[in-house]
Structure 1
Amino acid sequence: MRIFKFGGASVKSPDAVRNLARVLQHEGIENTLVVISAMGKMTNAFERLIKAYVDGSDDLNEALQAIKDFHTFMMDGLFDKNDEIYNKVTYLFGELAGRMAINTSKDYNYIYDQLVGFGELLSTTIVSAYLANIGVDNKWLDVREYVKTDSNYRDAKINWELTEKIIKEKVDTSKLNITQGFLGNNGEYTTTLGREGSDYTAGIFAYCLNADSVTIWKDVQGVLNADPRVFEDTELLRNISYTEAIEMAFYGASVIHPKTIQPLEQKQIPLSVRSFEDLNLEGTAVTGSAKGIEPEIPCYIVKKNQTLVSVSAKDFSFMVEDNISAVFKKLHDYKLKVNLIQNSAISFSVCIEDKFNNFDKFYNDLKSSFNMKSYKDVTLYTVRHFNDQAIESIKSKGRAIIRQINTETAQLVIQEKT
């Protein structure tokens, strides 16, 4: 059993979908389950739609029409005008409109999860139909019937026991199965597994089906030591250990989703990251037999749009367990993801990611009890296996507000030059 995962870049155009079919025909389709993301930048487009819907904005119809136009463009490039796919997609858009019409909730996270997943449903419906039209027999699965979660919308936790039971009983592993990434279900409503959660979906199915391998197909040759959009000179990492992959994912490496590795490591399922453009390249292997990374070179991880906040006691007393625990409780309450911690005798600093737009509430909640200082829109650079040259290259990008270095990892919070 093999699990393939294709991200948005692999289905961003009609030619890209044709190429996905080429990959499957080259690799073989037997005993394969394929996880597919929303097409191109459609998750971003759905987020704009959701914002307009929640805000009651006049931009709602324009945002919806842009999504419809894109999927019509995709279908026009892949199907005859009288193909049944047009009716299927029209039905999905009708369901989307119905969800918006009947919703009475004011909870943004709940609304987000009920609407954003239509990107994946549209994507997989179109790809599945195209494959069938060219003679690649496949079965379309609604992932929400298989992946069961709690009700923590936008970052749902897996009910592993129930999910594994359903997947083992209901998935016909002898066929080519097509399903969505990112989505789950809490027994009543759609949930999502966190941004970029399609990799995690692949890991979930691999674990539950005792798969032989997982392959993530990308528009790069494999896992690089840095994001080529940020750094000019990058190098392929041929082998990565599970431990190293988890470390890199923890610090924010975008090639592999942070939650993906754990279920694979538990059953020693190898993960490959390969290029869907050049099928002759071996890409990167992530396995239990690898040690660290090969080659062992500095690896750069960049997290932009971060907020650095420093907290100190108003009476100039030490920042110790009781007041630090109070700060951490508030960070948890406001769903602020901590990416760096630095503590001194009288101050406590954290670099955080505010994906739920709660920082201002957090700040206002604490400022009556603590002295607060914040820096918004800073960039967190993490360098694994650093050397002096790597550190200097990061420092040249702006003013280092915080530097933190241990044996294997250096982290710098930078106010970048404008």
Structure 2
Amino acid sequence: MKVFKFGGASVKDAEGVRNLLNVLNKTGNSNLLIVVSAMGKTTNALEEVVEAYLKNGNFREKLNLIRNFHQAIISKLFPEGREEISGKTEVIFTTLENFLEHNKSSKYDFVYDQIVSYGELLSTTIVSGFLEKSGVPNKWLDVRELIKTDATYRDAQVNWEETQYEIQKNINPNLLTITQGFIGSDTNNFTTTLGREGSDYTAAIFAYCLNAESVSIWKDVPGVLNGDPRVFQKTQLLEQISYEEAIELAFYGASVIHPKTLQPLQRKEIPLYVKSFLHPEDPGTAVSRGRHLIPQVPCFIVKKNQVLISLSSLDFSFMVEENISDIFRLFHLYQIKVDLIQNSAISFSVCVDNKFNNLEKLMQHLRARFKVEFTKYVSLYTIRHFDEKAIKSLEKDKEVLLKQLTHNTVQMVTRESK
């Protein structure tokens, strides 16, 4: 089997869904499983529903915008005979509304997963119906019945043994299967999510469990570039990347490939292709066993809205293993992701991602034992395979707060110069 993954940008409107069919017509649709993300910015819109629901309960206006968005796409895809597909999507909205009316939990992460997951259920229902109408028979499956996880909402960990059993039991390799990215379910059948951009990871999970021939991720870029073209100028296409190099790039925050995606593929040496859904005939980028990087050029990565935390002991004693282990225990407790570490005899600096908004709670604990300074809204730049020209291009018009070099990689924490 092959596994295809189509992201939100590829199905952001009716034309995008028609183009998905065009990709299948050019690549073939036999022995294929397709993972689809929520349409366009639906995940962001559902996040606004979560915020409104937990803040004041006034979520209906935002939810109706999402309903109207999907109905408009249905109207264009199904100019005639849209009743069946409209009915299916309305059942999904009704189920979501029932949750919002009867839920008793105020825990953000739990509520988030139960609500935001509906974006993928809607998109796959529409895509499956459109393909069926277009003469492409397929089977729609609810991925929550296949990918089983723990109850770490918003960052669920996969139960691989149970997941593999369910996938192999329920997937017919002779049928075209349509399912959702990003989501799974825990032992109590509550919905969980695998982290933002987790649809790539979903595709890798299926590929691993099905011993797939390959995974193709279809994007609005020609493949993996050596930098985000929205941030960096004159980017180049990387024709081939080794698993090891791709994992390094993902670890440092390259947005084209999800950090969790590569490990299961590497274990079974399943190649990953990143290709353009606008030009499906182009080769794109191959991630597989082989040379680290073709061509060998500097690769630029940026993570914005980071926090730089600097700690020092109150009595000028050394920052030794005991202190550092306590600090990392607190990072784990408050779900603070550490992206860069630098320490000296009496100080310890880290650049962290505060995506779970637990920074203030962390600060209260740290101030009890350390002198604490922190700077919000900094950017963390990483260059793999750097040269002096690449470093100078990044330092221009920026204040460098921290800089760290290793053999292949330079990292800089910066803020814009005033």
TM-score range, shorter chain: over 0.9
Structure 1 residue 169, shift from structure 2 partner: 1.3
Change (3 A) 1:380 1:69: same
1:90 aligns with 2:90: yes
Normalised TM-score (structure 2): 0.98
Partner of 1:409: 409
Counterpart-to-counterpart distance in 2, 1:49 and 1:14? 24
Q: How is 1:246-257 mapped onto 2 (pairs within 5 angstroms)? A: 246-257=247-258
Structure 1 residues 417 and 82, CA gap change in structure 2 (3 angstroms): farther
Q: What is the match of residue 119 of structure 1?
A: 119
> Who is 1:364 aligned against?
364
Partner of 1:152: 152
What is the one-letter code of the residue matched to 2:193?
T
Structure 1 runs of 4+ off > 2 angstroms? none
- Equivalent residues in 2 for 1:290-369 (5 A)? 290-369=290-369
Aligned 1:203-222 pairs, distance under 5 A = 203-222=204-223
What residue is the counterpart of 1:238 in the other structure? Answer: 239
What runs of 5+ residues in structure 1 fail to find an aligned partner? Answer: none
Report Cα offsets for 1:242-274 as digits up to 9, x if no partner: 000000000000000000000000000000000
Distance across 1 between alignment mates of 2:193 and 2:227: 28
Query: By how many angstroms is 1:329 displaced?
Result: 0.6
Query: Is the deviation greater in 343-352 or in 76-85?
Result: 76-85
Q: Does residue 1:78 correspond to 2:77, yes or no? A: yes
Partners of 2:252 and 2:397 in 1: how far apart?
19
Percent identity over the alignment is 54
Task: Provide the TM-score with structure 1 as the length reference.
Answer: 0.98
Deviation at 1:24, TM superposition (A): 0.8
- SS of alignment partner, residue 165 of structure 1: helix
- Measured after TM superposition, the shift of residue 214 of structure 1 is 0.3
In 2, the alpha carbon distance for the partners of 1:65 and 1:386 equals 49
Moved more, 273-282 or 214-223: 273-282
Equivalent position SS for 1:230: coil
Q: Take 2:45 and 2:141, find their aligned partners in 1: how far apart are those partners?
A: 24
1:152-201 deviation line (CA, Å, top 9, x unaligned) = 11100000011011111110011100000000111221000011000000
Q: Is the 8 A contact 1:36 1:124 kept in 2?
A: yes
**Does structure 2 conserve the Cα–Cα contact (< 8 Å) formed by 1:303 and 1:381?**
yes
Query: Alignment partner of 2:303: what SS?
Result: strand
How far apart are residue 61 of structure 1 and its match?
2.2
Aligned to 1:278: 279
Question: What is the Cα deviation at residue 283 of structure 1?
Answer: 0.3
Question: How far is the alpha carbon of 1:82 from its aligned partner?
Answer: 4.2
Name the structure 1 match of 2:64: 65
Query: How much does 1:81 deviate?
Result: 5.5
Per-residue deviation at 1:216? 0.3
CA shift, 1:397, in A, is 3.8
Secondary structure (helix, strand or coil) at the match of 2:90 reads helix
Q: Residues of 2 paired with 1:295 and 1:324: CA distance? A: 39
| Whole-angstrom CA distance in 2 between matches of 1:340 and 1:74 | 43
Matching residue of 1:192: 193
Amino acid at match of 1:242: Y
CA distance in 1, matches of 2:212, 2:236: 29
Alignment partner, residue 175 of structure 1: 175
Does the CA-based 8 Å contact 1:397-1:414 persist in structure 2?
no
Distance in 2 of aligned mates of 1:195 and 1:176: 26
Deviations 1:83-109 (A, max 9, x none): 211111111100000011111011110
* Secondary structure of the structure 2 residue equivalent to 1:38: coil
Task: Check whether the contact 1:11–1:20 (CA below 8 A) recurs between aligned residues.
Answer: yes
Structure-1 residue corresponding to 2:134: 134
**Corresponding residue of 1:34:** 34
Q: Distance in 1 between matches of 2:256 and 2:296?
A: 18
